[in-house]
Amino acid sequence: MEFLSIEILSAAMFFISFYGLIVSKNIIKSIICIGIMEIAVIMFLISLGFSEGMRAPIGENLENTSDPLPQALLLTAIIIGITVTAVNTIFFVSLCRQYKATDWDTVKKKNTE
């Protein structure tokens, strides 16, 4: 598989999940769409940083090594994505306990009452 197709696939994943985030009335589906958007961005950035023939900068011979900084930043983005999903899930549990609903419309109606 060529990496151009991975870039197209990740862009398609992002926009499909963005559409799902906009039209979804269920809070759980919204959380899942946000997670898929984060994964799509990480996939896109990994595909941009790939170069054929590059290797990890380990050892004494440092020719044809890849830059470890983007890899470290993507690991940080993965950790932030997991944290965002955990916080969203905590907010969801709080909304379920308070309003006893799992969709946005019911929460909005009960919040205005």
Give the CATH number of the domain where residue 83 resides.
Answer: 1.10.287.3510
The secondary element (H helix, E strand) that includes residue 97 is helix 68-99
Count of structural domains within the chain: 1
The neighbouring-strand residues paired with 26 are 103
pTM of the predicted protein model: 0.82
Burial class (CB in 10 A: 0-12, 13-18, 19+), 39: middle
Q: Are 48 and 73 in contact (CB under 8 A)?
A: no
Does residue 57 form part of some domain? no
Interval 64-101: pLDDT, tens: 777 778 888 899 999 999 999 999 999 999 999 998 88
Task: Name 95's Cβ contacts closer than 8 Å, sequence gap at least 6.
Answer: 27, 101, 107
**Predicted local distance difference test score (pLDDT) of residue 2:** 56
Please give the structure tokens belonging to residue 18.
């963005």
Range of the domain at 45: 3-50+67-112
What mean pLDDT is predicted for residues 42-64?
79
Res. 62: pLDDT tops 90: no
**Predicted local distance difference test score (pLDDT) of residue 60:** 77
Does residue 80 form part of some domain? yes
